[in-house]
A = this chain, B = another copy of it.
Amino acid sequence: MRIGMLCGGVGGARAALALCENLPADSLTFLVNTGDDFRHLGLEIWPDWDTVVYTLGGLIETDRGWGRQDEGTKAMEEFSRLQAPDWFHLGDRDLALHVFRTWALEQGCPAHQVAAQIADRLGVKARVLRLTQSSLATEFVLKDGQRMDFQTWFVRHQGKPAVAQVKSGDGEAVTPGVLETIASSDLLLIAPSNPYLSILPMLGVPPVAEAVKSRQGPTWAVSPLLGGKAVKGPLDALLSELSPHARGQQAIVGVYSGWAQNLFLPADEMDGLNSADVVPRPCRTWLNTPQRRADFVADIMAAWKAL
């Protein structure tokens, strides 16, 4: 059974880890959001892809959910000393990856080959594909009319400015293997990632949208909310700004209407949800321990077997 999963950052990485810990790696392909990818200090940075790959390679700083274990701050101290832009944190190990990647791309190696090489060298067994070869360059139209790119909004302004609209590129070349994965996976999952920042930017790319809409097998989404709230990050604020007529899990149902047939969420959060096309399904969606991740996969697989 082949599984594909659309992933964003921390939530996507933990769901990907759950699958990798409990299913054969060669049955898994992760399709990772490129909306946050950007250039900083001349370096090519892929935050979501890196988080998934660091997580699957066992290199992630687990408590924080991003960045590397045993990471250092010496380079960052120097950027500050040099008065370089230092609003985006670059750990010493992380920096080396960005330097290597930027160099490999400058040498003319296509992005998907660079990605495959890095994932392999970091010990990742499953396929982790960036959705597109270049960034979808997510940006925000703020309530005050200003436009702001993703990193400026998320990191520099800590996700605080009120958002009226999220816009991402839709003309970027889709990475080889992505459309095939969507078409041929027995099950396509949507990870418990931020829908506005991680999932909808991917579904906004026309050939990706078409592949999802026209695939034969089921597409199931996993809710990123626990107890009706985001585990972390700016999702709660975005939901209230961008989905004013529904709250919590009902808003997530609304977002995935037309995309997924099922929404997996904690059993005690299913009451009162209504949707014409998205059926709520009970699932243990906490992903912070190996046992909880095994429970999550068991619930998904039980639903699959009950089809």
Q: What residues of B have a CB within 8 angstroms of the CB of A91 in the complex?
A: 74
Q: Contact check, A96 vs B76: say whether CB atoms are below 8 A apart.
A: yes
Q: Bound state CA distance, A43 and B75, in angstroms?
A: 15
How many protomers of this protein does the assembly include? Answer: 2
**Cβ-based interface call for A244 (8 A):** no
Type the 1/0 row for A82-94, where 1 means its CB is closer than 8 Å to any CB of B.
1110000001110
Q: Contact check, A41 vs B82: say whether CB atoms are below 8 A apart.
A: no
Given A83-B121, A92-B72, A121-B83, the answer on whether A78 and B97 have CB atoms closer than 8 Å is: yes
Nearest CB in chain B: distance from A91 CB, A = 8
Most chain B C-beta atoms within 10 Å of own C-beta, residue among A71, A92, A95: A92
Q: Which residue of B lies closest to A70 (CB)?
A: B74
Q: Contact check, A81 vs B42: say whether CB atoms are below 8 A apart.
A: no
Q: Bound state CA distance, A168 and B72, in angstroms?
A: 38
Identify which of residues 91-124 in chain A touch chain B, using a CB-to-CB cut-off of 8 Å.
91-93, 95-97, 99-100, 102-103, 106, 118, 121-122
Q: What residues of B have a CB within 8 angstroms of the CB of A74 in the complex?
A: 70-72, 74, 91-93, 96
Q: What residues of B have a CB within 8 angstroms of the CB of A81 in the complex?
A: 121-122
Q: What residues of B have a CB within 8 angstroms of the CB of A106 in the complex?
A: 42
Q: Which residue of B lies closest to A75 (CB)?
A: B96
Which one of B41, B102, B121 lies within 8 Å of A100 (CB-CB)?
B41
**Cβ-based interface call for A210 (8 A):** no
**Cβ-based interface call for A77 (8 A):** yes
Q: Contact check, A96 vs B99: say whether CB atoms are below 8 A apart.
A: no
**Cβ-based interface call for A154 (8 A):** no
**Cβ-based interface call for A79 (8 A):** yes
Nearest CB in chain B: distance from A37 CB, A = 17
Which one of B72, B84, B97 lies within 8 Å of A82 (CB-CB)?
B97
Most chain B C-beta atoms within 10 Å of own C-beta, residue among A93, A99, A122: A99
Q: Which residue of B lies closest to A101 (CB)?
A: B82
Q: Which residue of B lies closest to A122 (CB)?
A: B81
What would 5 more interface pairs be, CB under 8 Å, given A71-B74, A84-B100? A74-B74, A78-B96, A78-B100, A95-B96, A99-B99
Q: Point out residues on A near B: beta carbons under 8 Å.
A: 41-43, 70-72, 74-79, 81-84, 91-93, 95-97, 99-100, 102-103, 106, 118, 121-122
Q: Which are the 6 A-B pairs with shortest beta-carbon distances? A: A78-B96, A42-B103, A75-B96, A74-B92, A92-B92, A72-B74
- Selected A-B contacts with CB under 8 Å, 22 pairs: A41-B99, A41-B103, A42-B102, A42-B103, A43-B99, A72-B74, A72-B92, A74-B92, A75-B75, A75-B95, A75-B99, A77-B93, A77-B96, A78-B100, A82-B96, A82-B121, A83-B121, A84-B96, A84-B103, A95-B96, A95-B99, A99-B99
